[in-house]
Amino acid sequence: MTGSTLTGNKVRKLEFLMADALQNNCNHVITSGAIQSNHCRAVAVCSRQLGLVPHLILRGDQKSVEELRCEGNVLLDRLCGANIYLVPRKSPYLTHVLPRMENLVQTIKQSTGESSYIIPVGGSNRVGIFGYLSVFEEMMSQGVLEDYDDIVFACGSGGTAAGLCLGNYLTGSKLRIHAVAVSDDAAYFHDHVTSTLREVGIQEVTSEEILNVIEGHKGQGYGISTQEELDFILEVSQSSGIMLDPVYTGKAVKGMLYEIQNNPSRYKGNRILFLHTGGVYGLFDGRINTLLSQHGTKHNQVHMWEEIDKPPV
């Protein structure tokens, strides 16, 4: 068990990425993500558990450090004592974030003499891919996959998609793998997955041949929630007890159900496994509070009962 704070799909990748960092005698770990990044929080927690120093480059709309609110994943980042560097939300990774990471490596080396390990956004690279290769192997060994025709999951950086579709391909499994894009588009993810396959020595197949990327369900953009999406999350949680998050699983489940109703031929069969990839701390960033606080709605079930001889109101 990883404990309550080290949760989500990124932990699977970090099992291999952190091992690589330790193998390379690194004392610092540098990564990046959005302000409420589950990945960055997992890196911060895991780093401290292993005696490493976390450095997080977070993309957001803050104009000053005072505007950074201690809630959700950011609260956990700061409880871990992570070094946080705020950059503009739309900073491109290759031209604005990665160069900062590389500069930080040099700065840390010059000031401390210690080495740093860079983890890309989402931990999605040729090392991280083994995290979800092992997940696929685990599901096979447990007999889980015998009961399903399709696997569906949220796709934000492409690492989970790469690992699962490769595991499906290498084992000769007949499952169909579906990634619901919550950022970017199919072309981006297919390019990323194919590049990762080449890096691990798989030359004979492309992403398009072994992965179905489902578009059209990222709403207004990555990490941005609509009223309809938040309502859906509440409908699911209040009817089933299943907690979906607003960035990944909420959009992915909503998209999966839409495709089942409107494009059923996309799936191989009717035995569909949705892989919940975590993200529960995304519910604590404040965006869903307004819905829960509205009086007179079905979502607000809080009542005052001040006097014992009178009914609650």
Q: What span, in angstroms and rounded, lies between the C-alpha atoms of 69 and 159? A: 29
Q: Is residue 37 annotated as a catalytic residue, yes or no?
A: yes
**If 0-12 CB within 10 Å is exposed, 13-18 middle and 19+ buried, where does residue 254 land?**
buried
The arrangement of strands across the sheet holding 83-88 comes to 83-88, 53-60, 28-34, 116-118
Give the distance, in angstroms, between the CA of residue 129 and the centroid of all CA atoms in the same chain: 14
Catalytic residue among 32, 37, 124, 225: 37
CA distances from 58 to 14, 33, 39, 276 (A): 18, 5, 11, 24
Catalytic residues: 37
